[in-house]
Amino acid sequence: MNAPSARKLEFDPAHRDAIGPISIDRRTVGSGLVDLATGFAEFVDDAPADEWVQPYEEALYVLEGELKIRVNGHTVVGTPGDVIAVEKGATVSASGKVGTRVYFAVVPANWRETMGR
């Protein structure tokens, strides 16, 4: 019997990690999705994340708090209900107050490997 084509993606502590002040909950690890990765990000510290060159495309949906994305020297601010799109190749830094929560969608699904980690 084949695996179902749709499934609920539960929290798995094995797929939680951190990037600077951001706790990442990667929901699609092992889900069978090959092109798209999604999950939740929560700021656990008020300090901004270190700047990086983004090797993937990303859409961020702000659930709670205020997300500030600095892209190539320009700041975009998102509040609950806003979506921020970030293009591949952008020089990015993110910041938010403790408790800011974001749902993210990233292409490609192997985004962690594209960051050289």
Residues 6+ apart with CB under 8 A from 95: 21, 43, 46, 47, 48, 49, 67, 68, 70
Neighbours of 49 (CB within 10 A): 20
Domains, the chain, in order of start with CATH, read 17-114 (2.60.120.10)
Q: What is the mean pLDDT of the chain?
A: 90
pTM of the model: 0.87
pLDDT tens column, 13-42 = 898 999 899 999 999 888 888 899 999 999
Residues 6+ apart with CB under 8 A from 14: none
Integer CA distances (angstroms), 58 to 1, 5, 13, 85, 107, in order = 34, 24, 23, 6, 7
